[in-house]
C-alpha cells in the first residue's frame, strides 16, 4: 500500500461509519468519533469537517467553527457530571452542549485563547445533569474557530465545606493565599503556570504570593472589585476580553511565569487604554534584565478604547523564566501582553499576522513600492501598516509587485476525509 493510501485509510477510519456506536459516560470521547452525516450546517456531509494528526499519533477536528458535532452516548447512571474539553486556538471561541436536540446542558462556554493551535489546554464544564440511558449529545460551535481533541466525562465530586477558626492559633493543613486561606494540595495555582511564548498573557493572570511577591500595588484594596481578592485593581470591561488591570500607577508591578518555546529575538505588544498622555511601562526578565526599556503608552481617548503598542526587539533564552511588568509613569488600564517574533518560525496550523513578516529590510523581509510606511503604524520600515478598523490589531496594505516574507514551521501535512 502506498503512503498516500495509508493516510487516506487512516482518515476514513477516524470518521468512519462505526462512529455511531454509543460511547459510555463516564468516559472519554474522541472528537473525531462524531456520528456520520451529523452537521446541520453542511447538508449532512461528514467530509465537511477537517481533521489533523496529533504529535502523539492521534487525530483531532481542526478549525471547528460552525454547525455541530453529534455523538451517541450511553449514560450509565443519572446524575451530575463534569466534562473536560481538550482544545487549542489562537483567538477566543465559544461553544455549547445540547442533549437530544432539545436540552441545553449548560450556558455557552468561553474557550480562552491558548496562544495558538499548537498550544493545547482544557476547559472544564461542571455540574452538567445527564439522564440515564442512550442519548445524542451535540457539541455546537457558537463563535470563533478551535481545534478539538476530545472530551472526558466524569461524575461530579461532592464538595465538602471546610472551615476553621484561625484565631485559635492552629492552622495546620492550611496556607495563607492572597489575604485569604485555602487547603494546600501541593499543586501549582493556575495563575502560576508558565504562559507559552510566543503567545498571549492576560493581565489578571499574574503570579500568586501576594504583595511584594506576585505584585506590588500602591493601594490596599482591589478598587475594581473584580476577579481576584487581593490588592491589584481589576475591573470588567464590555469590549475587550472582559477583564483588565486598571488604575495602574508609577511604581506598581506584576509578575508572570513564562515558558519560551524557542530562543530568539522577540517583541511584546502591550494593549492598554487611557486618557492620560504621559505613560510608560517596562518589562524585566528574571528580575535582572530590562528587556524593553521604557515603552511609551499613548493616550487612547477613552478608558475602553484599547490600543496596542509594540516594544523594541530583545532576546529571550529558551526555557522557563519570570517576567515583571513595571509601571514606570502615568496611569492607564492594562489588558494583555502578546509576545511576538518576526523571525522565530510561526507554527502551522496557526494564525500568522500579516504585520509579523521577517526582519532584514527591503528585498529580504519584504519588497514595497514606496519608501515609507504610509499608515505610520507598528513597524519603522517601508511596509504600509494601519490600524485595523474591525479590531484592536493592525493590517498591512499591499500593492501589485510588493510582497512579504514569513518563516513557517510546518508539521506533517493535515489529513482530510473524503466524500
On whether the CB atoms of residues 415 and 51 are closer than 8 A, the answer is yes
Q: What are residue 44's phi and psi, to 5 degrees?
A: 80, 10
Which pLDDT does position 393 carry in this prediction? 56
Question: Is 0.75 surpassed by the pTM of this model?
Answer: no
- Report how far apart, in Å, the C-alpha atoms of 370 and of each of 132, 340, 396, 397, 400 are: 68, 26, 13, 11, 12
On whether the CB atoms of residues 266 and 344 are closer than 8 A, the answer is yes
Q: Strands, E, within 295-400: which ranges?
A: 295-297, 307-310, 314-316, 319-329, 332-340, 346-347, 366-367, 384-387, 394-397
Share of the chain above pLDDT 90, in %: 54
State pLDDT tens for residues 85-121.
999 998 899 999 999 988 999 888 999 988 888 888 8
Task: Assign 183 a pLDDT band (cuts: 50, 70, 90).
Answer: low
State pLDDT tens for residues 209-224.
999 999 999 999 999 9
State pLDDT tens for residues 236-295.
987 777 899 999 999 999 999 999 999 999 999 999 999 999 999 999 999 999 999 999
Per DSSP, the three-state class of 200 is strand
State pLDDT tens for residues 360-403.
889 998 999 999 989 888 888 889 988 776 544 555 555 555 55
Other beta carbons within 10 Å of 184 = 11
Residue 390 C-alpha cell reads as 474591525
Least confident of 56-65, 72-81, 228-237, 283-292: 56-65
CA distance 10 to 153: 26
CA distance 211 to 328: 18
State pLDDT tens for residues 396-413.
555 555 556 556 565 555
CA end-to-end span of the chain, whole Å?
21
Per DSSP, the three-state class of 336 is strand
Alpha helices in 1-127 (DSSP H): 3-14
Task: Assign 3 a pLDDT band (cuts: 50, 70, 90).
Answer: very low
Least confident of 26-35, 193-202, 293-302, 338-347: 338-347
Share of the chain above pLDDT 70, in %: 78
Q: Are strands 314-316 and 264-273 parallel, antiparallel or unpaired?
A: antiparallel
Per DSSP, the three-state class of 58 is coil
Which pLDDT does position 402 carry in this prediction? 58
Length of the chain: 419
Which pLDDT does position 162 carry in this prediction? 66
281 closest CA partner among 256, 303, 298: 298
Amino acid at each position: 500500500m502506498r503512503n498516500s493510501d495509508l493516510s487516506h485509510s487512516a482518515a476514513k477510519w477516524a470518521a468512519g461509519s462505526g462512529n455511531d456506536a454509543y460511547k459510555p459516560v463516564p468516559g472519554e470521547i474522541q472528537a473525531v468519533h462524531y456520528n456520520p452525516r451529523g452537521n446541520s450546517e453542511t447538508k449532512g456531509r461528514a467530509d465537511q469537517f477537517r481533521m489533523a494528526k496529533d504529535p502523539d499519533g492521534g487525530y483531532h477536528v481542526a478549525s471547528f467553527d460552525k454547525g455541530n458535532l453529534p455523538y451517541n452516548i450511553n449514560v450509565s447512571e443519572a446524575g451530575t457530571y463534569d466534562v473536560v474539553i481538550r482544545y487549542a486556538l489562537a483567538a477566543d471561541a465559544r461553544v455549547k452542549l445540547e442533549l437530544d436536540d432539545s436540552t441545553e446542558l449548560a450556558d455557552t462556554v468561553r474557550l480562552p485563547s491558548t496562544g495558538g493551535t499548537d498550544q493545547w489546554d482544557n476547559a472544564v464544564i461542571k455540574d452538567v445533569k445527564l439522564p440515564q440511558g442512550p442519548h445524542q449529545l451535540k457539541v455546537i460551535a457558537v463563535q470563533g474557530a478551535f481545534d478539538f481533541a476530545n472530551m472526558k466525562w466524569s461524575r461530579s465530586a461532592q464538595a465538602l465545606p471546610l472551615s476553621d477558626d484561625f484565631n485559635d492559633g492552629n492552622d495546620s493543613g492550611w496556607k495563607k493565599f492572597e489575604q485569604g486561606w485555602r487547603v494546600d494540595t501541593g499543586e501549582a495555582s493556575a495563575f502560576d503556570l508558565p504562559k507559552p511564548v510566543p503567545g498571549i498573557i492576560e493581565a489578571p493572570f499574574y503570579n500568586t504570593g501576594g504583595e511584594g511577591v506576585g505584585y506590588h500595588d500602591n493601594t490596599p484594596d482591589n478598587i475594581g472589585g473584580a476577579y481576584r481578592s487581593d490588592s491589584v485593581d481589576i475591573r470588567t470591561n464590555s469590549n475587550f476580553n472582559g477583564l483588565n488591570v486598571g488604575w495602574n500607577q508609577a511604581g506598581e508591578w506584576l509578575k508572570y511565569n513564562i515558558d519560551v518555546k524557542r530562543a530568539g529575538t522577540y517583541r511584546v505588544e502591550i494593549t492598554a487604554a487611557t486618557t492620560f498622555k504621559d505613560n510608560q511601562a517596562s518589562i524585566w526578565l528574571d528580575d535582572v534584565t530590562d528587556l524593553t526599556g521604557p515603552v511609551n503608552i499613548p493616550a487612547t481617548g477613552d478608558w475602553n478604547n484599547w490600543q496596542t503598542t509594540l516594544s523594541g526587539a530583545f532576546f529571550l533564552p529558551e526555557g522557563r523564566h519570570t517576567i515583571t511588568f513595571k509601571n514606570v509613569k502615568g496611569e492607564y488600564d492594562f489588558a494583555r501582553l502578546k509576545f511576538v517574533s518576526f523571525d522565530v518560525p510561526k507554527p502551522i496550523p496557526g494564525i500568522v499576522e500579516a504585520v509579523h513578516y521577517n526582519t532584514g529590510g527591503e528585498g529580504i523581509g519584504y519588497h514595497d513600492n514606496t519608501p515609507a510606511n504610509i499608515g505610520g503604524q507598528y513597524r519603522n520600515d517601508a511596509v504600509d501598516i494601519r490600524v485595523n478598523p474591525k479590531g484592536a490589531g493592525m493590517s498591512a496594505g499591499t500593492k501589485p509587485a510588493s510582497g512579504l516574507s514569513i518563516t513557517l514551521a510546518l508539521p506533517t501535512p493535515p489529513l482530510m476525509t473524503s466524500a
